[in-house]
Amino acid sequence: QLQLVESGGGLVQPGGSLTLSCAASEFSLAYYAIAWFRQAPGKEREFVAAINRNGFSFYADFAKRRFIIDRDNAKNTGYLQMNSLRPEDTAVYYCAVISPFVSRQATDYADWGQGTQVTVSS
């Protein structure tokens, strides 16, 4: 199992912004696509965004225009910048990696971080 550690979650007001980080250990992130998923209580884990090894990114509909996924291979870290946050964005956010090709399906991923809580509330 590849080790991934998310950070950056917390409490933010509606309309605010938050940036999550996903740091890889003991392996080179450059060879993997990176994806973010989220899971709210009582809900299935859902796809948020992904970025492939070449830097091409794509998003779930709810994340388009609000979220930005990025990576810094020199720092062995992936990022998810979230803007214009809404209460319905409240969830545990997970990063995951896969190679050689990216997927939108959580069941395709075997390597996950521990998750970081994002709460959007006034």
pLDDT of residue 51: 97
Q: What gap in Å lies between CA 55 and CA 60, rounded to an integer?
A: 17
Q: Which residue has the tokens 């250990």?
A: 25
The pLDDT value recorded for residue 110 is 93
**Low-confidence residues of the chain, pLDDT below 50?**
none
Q: What pLDDT score does 1 carry?
A: 82
- Residue pair 73/52 in contact (Cβ under 8 Å)? The answer is no
Lookup result for tokens 């810094």: 72
Q: What is the pLDDT of residues 47-81, one digit of tens each?
A: 999 999 999 999 999 999 999 999 999 999 999 99
Say which amino acid occupies 92: V
Query: In a 3-state reduction of DSSP, which class is residue 10?
Result: strand
